[in-house]
Amino acid sequence: MFAVYYRPDLRPLAEEFKSRYGAVDLTCGGELSHVFILGGDGTLLEALRRFPCVLDSVVVHLGMGRVNFYRSAEFTIPVEEAVEKIRRGEYRVLEFSTLEHDGCRALNEISIYRREPGRLLSFRMRTDEGEVVGRADGVIISTPHGSSGYVVSTFGPVVDYRAEAVVISFIAPYTLFLRPIVLVSSQVAVETAEDAVLVCDGRETRRGKSFLVRRGGRKLKLAVFGEFQFLHRVMERLRSL
């Protein structure tokens, strides 16, 4: 069965889609084969935040937003064309890793900031490869494909989406030895001296002094029609930020 999640202004299109193809609004109450996203990447992130079961289905991202890195086709295509390709099996599935922390699942990144703005965050970060102690405005822990989002503002690397790794970067570090790092760690523990805020894909989810971010056990399964040109997607995303 098809489900749909949509940006509010695209509701008429979603209603037509449901009527024509017998689709339903996205919930986690039943078994779904494909979830159609009508909107951009922000709509996809919201769907994942509200309905984690999105990771149990194949996602068809129509690319109707300002940022469309996860779009299923190289260019935006009509809903009817996407449905026909799905029905004929003319697609492949790419998997994108996630991050997890205390119920939140991030497709792009998890960030940790000092709760009180204007002052540095003192932190100790432990990984499978060792630990780092320092001060900065914040710490960003990113998936490989998320590295072309927030991480680039810290002059971090763009990492191939197929890499089994996490990307760690630091916001305005106080000392120059703090540089972006790419690790194969399964988890990253961050302890702070002051109260801090954890932001999961742009949404504040928790406050505290101790955070454990793990590589997600489930991945986003994205239907892709034709080629997925990663560098082209990265350049397009950077121009839209």
Number of Cα atoms under 13 Å in the Cβ half of residue 51: 22
Angle at 150 between CA 147 and CA 156, to 5 degrees: 55
Measured CA to CA, the distance from residue 83 to residue 61 in angstroms comes to 11
Measured CA to CA, the distance from residue 134 to residue 178 in angstroms comes to 7
Residue 25 falls in the annotated catalytic set: no
Judge contact between 119 and 203, C-beta under 8 A: no
3-state secondary structure 204-240: EEEEEEEEEEEECCCCEEEEECCCCCHHHHHHHHHHH
**Amino acid at the residue 199:** V
The two three-digit tokens of residue 75, written as one number: 């260019």
The candidate with the shortest Cα–Cα distance to 125, out of 181, 189, 176, is 189
**Amino acid at the residue 138:** G
Q: Which one from 9, 41, 102, 160 is the annotated catalytic residue? A: 41
3-state secondary structure 87-145: HHCCCEEEEECCEEECCEEECCEEEEEECCCCCCEEEEEEECCEEEEEEECEEEEECCH
Report, as residue numbers or ranges, the catalytic residues. 41
